[in-house]
Amino acid sequence: MKIIIADDEISFCNMLEIYMKEWLFDYEVSKNGADALQRIYHNNEPILLLLDWEMPGLNGLDICNHLNNNPPDYPIYIILLTGKTNVEDLEEAMEIGASDFIRKPFQEKELHSRILAGKRILELQDKITKHRNALAKTNKNLEHTLEVIKQDEEAGRTIQRKILPKNNTTLHGCTFTHTLLPSLYLSGDFLDYFKINDDCVGFYFIDVAGHGSSSAFVAILLKSYISGYITRFNAIGDQTLLHPKQLLKKLNQLILNDDIDKHFTIFYGILKNSTRELIYSNGGQFPFPILLSENKKEFIVQKSLPLGLIDNAEFQEETISCGENFCLYLFSDGILDIINHNSLTGKQEILFNAVSARSTNIDLLIKRLQIDRVDKLPDDITILKIAKGCK
């Protein structure tokens, strides 16, 4: 990683240079925006840019906007240095590409911690970028769609929510609603849903072991893997997306090959509109999903180990009928930590009864389970509801 300082104030640059030498960072100094851009595009490694907001010529926002529209081939993390306090100005900067900001004057320790946070994110982004490039080389017709997500720890929760799918989305008549309640700023839980073709909708529900930034980074990495298979399906007709057990097997190998040292659970399902069926594989997700339909009310039980533990693991794939109208609920295991009962069976029963009413929405469910009364969650809690023909 290289740090580029872009500031027209000589005394301020001198102070930053002293810090860089003290912290043993590789760095360069630019006195204006044009020179900073030239240095960025002539580098071939991840860059952390310490960027002054107000400079003559190209200012900080101009540079952010330019890099957002013309990103380099390697990760870049931008920390804006500013005396501005207007919230609207700061929001605008974040929207057009800034990763973080720090107000002048600032303490040496504060700047150091922000740089270390950016360095961690750049390392993850660099790893994702290398994986994306490897896929592109072996699949020449695959469009380059892997999104490099900029995160910072202080605003992590907001940024993570931005990459979640749009809430209350209807696909092929199925309405998807969700809530994510992190125990820390960043959550190891993640979910997504998407239209596969004119008949099928896919969705997945991930819970990475642990919580906080390390688990959140793995969740984002898994999103990038699955996004790659979505792109492969659209670009070259790769059928992995249509076979849940194959997808789980490949995800298991990818996470093991990358030596992440994290395991995770996942429920991946396909809702087939023409046959009113759910095709699914469960990779250790617990509690089991709950299906409510016109004729039945049940846990969807399929036992399996989490992913990221055993090499060449095999997974089951099953198909069940959902009927014309149904509600399907999925929960991360953090929900069990806040249900007040001595036994696991008792906790499951309380959860099952809480969603037995077909009119149960997520807000009502949170109140029934008294989640809203918990000051500090012991673990991340994520809830996904998929409804067709019911409220």
Q: 33-50: per-residue pLDDT in tens?
A: 889 999 998 888 899 999
**What pLDDT is stored for residue 158 in this prediction?**
63
Tell whether the torsion through CA atoms of 354, 355, 359 and 362 is positive or negative.
positive
Question: Quick one: pLDDT at residue 359?
Answer: 59
List, for residues 184-236, the tens digit of each pLDDT value. 666 788 999 999 999 999 999 999 987 677 888 888 889 999 999 999 999 99
Give ranges for CATH 3.40.50.2300 in the chain.
2-135
pLDDT at residue 232, as a whole number:
93
Q: Are 367 and 354 in contact (CB under 8 A)?
A: no
**Fold that domain 2-135 belongs to in CATH:** Rossmann fold (3.40.50)
Distances in Å between the Cα of 130 and the Cα atoms of 117, 123, 148, 231, 363 are: 20, 11, 11, 17, 41
pLDDT at 206: 94
pLDDT at 43: 85
Per-residue confidence (pLDDT) for residue 50, from 0 to 100: 92
Q: Where in the chain is the domain with CATH 3.60.40.10?
A: 156-388
Q: Are 79 and 48 in contact (CB under 8 A)?
A: yes
CA distance 326 to 195: 19
Residue 148 is predicted with a pLDDT of 38
CATH for 156-388?
3.60.40.10
The pLDDT, as a whole number, for residue 142 is 39
Q: Which residues of the chain have pLDDT under 70?
A: 136, 138-161, 184-186, 211, 357-359, 391
- d(CA 160, CA 178) in angstroms, rounded, equals 14
Residue 156 confidence (pLDDT): 54
132-139 contacts at long range (C-beta below 8 A, 24 or more positions apart):
132/224, 132/228, 135/228, 139/232, 139/235, 139/236
CA distance 267 to 315: 11
The per-residue pLDDT for 144 is 39
